[in-house]
Amino acid sequence: MTATVMDGKLVAAEVKQEVSGRVKHLQQQGVWPWLSTVLVGDDPASETYLRAKHKACEEVGIKSENHHLPSDSPQDKLEALIDRLNHDDRVHGILVQLPLPKHLEEDRTIDRLDPDKDVDGLHPVNVGKLASGTEGLVPCTPKGVVRLLQHYKVQIAGSKATIVNRSNLVGRPLAMLLLNRDATVTICHSKTKELANITREADILVTAIGRPEVRIGPSYVKHGSTVVDVAINRVDGKLRGDIDFEPVSKIVQYITPVPGGVGPMTVAMLLENTIQAAAIHAGIRL
C-alpha cells in the first residue's frame, strides 16, 4: 500500500477560488470584506505568517491592513487598538497574531475582541457555539483539517479519531468539529500513558506535538488509516512534522505532507472566516 498524499496546496487553491467568487458576490451588494491584523513586537515567524495571510487576502480581493505595535506596548494600548477596530464598520475581521510578548495577557486580549469579528474563532462566545454544536467562526487550523478530510472523502461519521494535542488552537476545537460530524473522539496529551496503544486504534490520527525529538512511526499507526500531521518543526534547516513520513506512508491510506499539507489550509480558512464575518456584519447569507 502507498498512501494518497492529501495536497493542502491544491485544496487551498480551490477554497481560494470559492472565496474569490463570494467576495465578488459581497462587493456587488456594497460589502468590501476587510481584515485587520495586529502584530505586537518583531517576531520573525509571526511576520512571515502575516505576510502570507495578507498576500492571500490580496489574491482573493479581501482588503487587509496590519497594525504593528512595539514589543513593549502595554496591555491597555493593545486593548485600545482592539476597541477601535471593533467599532470600525469598515473592518469585518480582526486577527491578533499569537503568541504575544510575555507581559501581555492572551486570554484578556482575545476576550476583548468582538466575537463576530474574531476570525481566529478563539473568543469564548465562538468556543461555546462550537462546543454546543452550533458552529460560528471556527479556529482556522482545525477547520482546515476537516475540509481536507472532506475533500478526500475520508469517512468521519462512525470513525475512531485520535488527536494528539489539547490546545485551544488545535486539539480542543478539532475534537468538537469531529464530534459534531459523528466521530468517536479521543484526545491524547503529554500525560497520556502508552500513547502508541491508543493511536494504533485510530481510523483518523491527527498529531500536533511539535517537538523535533518526537517521531510518530509505523508502530503508532493503524494500517489503512488516515494520518494528518499538523506539527511544524525545523530540523537541519528543513521543515518536518511529527510523523516519520516515508515508513508511515507505506501502511496508511491517506497522509498529509509537511510542508504543503495543513499549513496552506489554515490560511485558506482564514479567508473563508473573513468573508463569513463580512456576511454576518451585513446580514447577508452566502
Kindly list the catalytic residues: 53, 97, 120
Residue 44: exposure state from Cβ atoms within 10 A (0-12, 13-18, ≥19): exposed
Asked if 96 and 120 count as a contact pair (C-beta separation under 8 A), the reply is: yes
